Copies of this chain bind each other. A is one copy, B any other.
Amino acid sequence: MSDKQVNIHREGAGASAKAHRPIMLAIAGDSGTGKTTLTAGLVAALGRDRITSVAADDYHAYDREERKDLPFTPLNPKCNYMDIMDQHFHHLSMGQPILKPVYDHDTGALGRPEYIRPAEFVIVEGLLPLYTKRSRACFDITVYLDPPEDIRIAWKLRRDTTKRGYTEEQVRKDLEKREPESAEFIRPQRANADIVVRFSPIEERGETAEDPLSAYLLLRPTISHPDLTTILDEDVKAGMHLKLRRDEDGKPVDSVHIHSYADREDTKRVEQAIWDELGVHEPVPESLGRLDSESRDEPLALTQLILLYHLIQAQQSAGNH
């Protein structure tokens, strides 16, 4: 380190020492995997003043018009300012503000950047937040969304044709174009997540994308999960169960299933038990499990509660180290 670098670090040190370090959560997944829905419940539970939500898609290097002439899609790291994304996640993780770029999904345009100061919690959702080693180092909790491909296509079709003004044919063509890059850049991020979430129909019961979905959570021992061996006891095992198994790569994981038909009383008891482990005074937030409609989805609610558990638990342990 040169004398100049020492100077710079010394000047910077005071500022970062005073800043609190927020708890950082990343939710990675392909387009149409439900990242926004999962995020929305956490933001509603904690409140906008306590959690800052950042879309990794804002780091697109090209607008929609420019992308037409390019040989890659937004799924490709080349189509994103990955180094700036790393830099910004690093700043946020240190409690420092950023001037975040802004990508408008409706118009496909890149606009005036936005000043963001991180709150107690920061949630980053997008296509590639877990792609680089440096960005992964910035997160306390990492999640990968992994629905079966037919579910994802159904969700993406519904959203892109209703909210983003595309035709079904355009969406299908786009999905086809993106497939090789999804395989090369998006899906490998699954291996770097503490939690892999799969919302899926239960095939053995003949369910389809139109039925209420069950949640399959894969919990890796890379972070400290609530002790589900005592919580998911005999009483509730009809609609929910915990299995010790090996993941695709042979490594040990906990696998939790929360069935769509799980009894509301059972899930409520499990939620309360997980929540009690935190030792906080507030009740379990009511805002979990909301889909577009007014109804409450139990598998979604429990998934969000586990993420919420990790956010609060990480904050508690950051204060007590």
Contact = CB atoms under 8 A, between A and B. Distances in A.
Count the copies. 2
Contacts of A91: 87
State which size class the interface on A falls in: 35 or more
A61 B117 CA distance: 14
A151 to B, nearest CB: 34
Interface string A95-122: 0111101000000011111010000000
Given A84-B98, A87-B96, A97-B84, A11 B115 contact: no
A313 to B, nearest CB: 14
Contact of A115 (B10, B81, B134, B138): B81
A238 interface: no
A140 to B, nearest CB: 7
A276 interface: no
Contacts of A68: none
A98 B81 CA distance: 10
Nearest to A97: B83
Nearest to A110: B112
A293 interface: no
A99 B84 contact: yes
B11 A137 contact: yes
A4 B84 contact: no
A318 interface: yes
Sorted from nearest, which 3 A-B pairs have the closest CB atoms?
A11-B137, A11-B134, A110-B112
Interface of A: 2-5, 7-8, 10-12, 15, 21, 61, 63, 81, 83-84, 87, 90-91, 93-94, 96-99, 101, 109-113, 115, 133-134, 137-138, 140, 318, 321
Given A8-B138, A10-B137, 4 more contacts: A2-B318, A5-B21, A87-B91, A113-B113
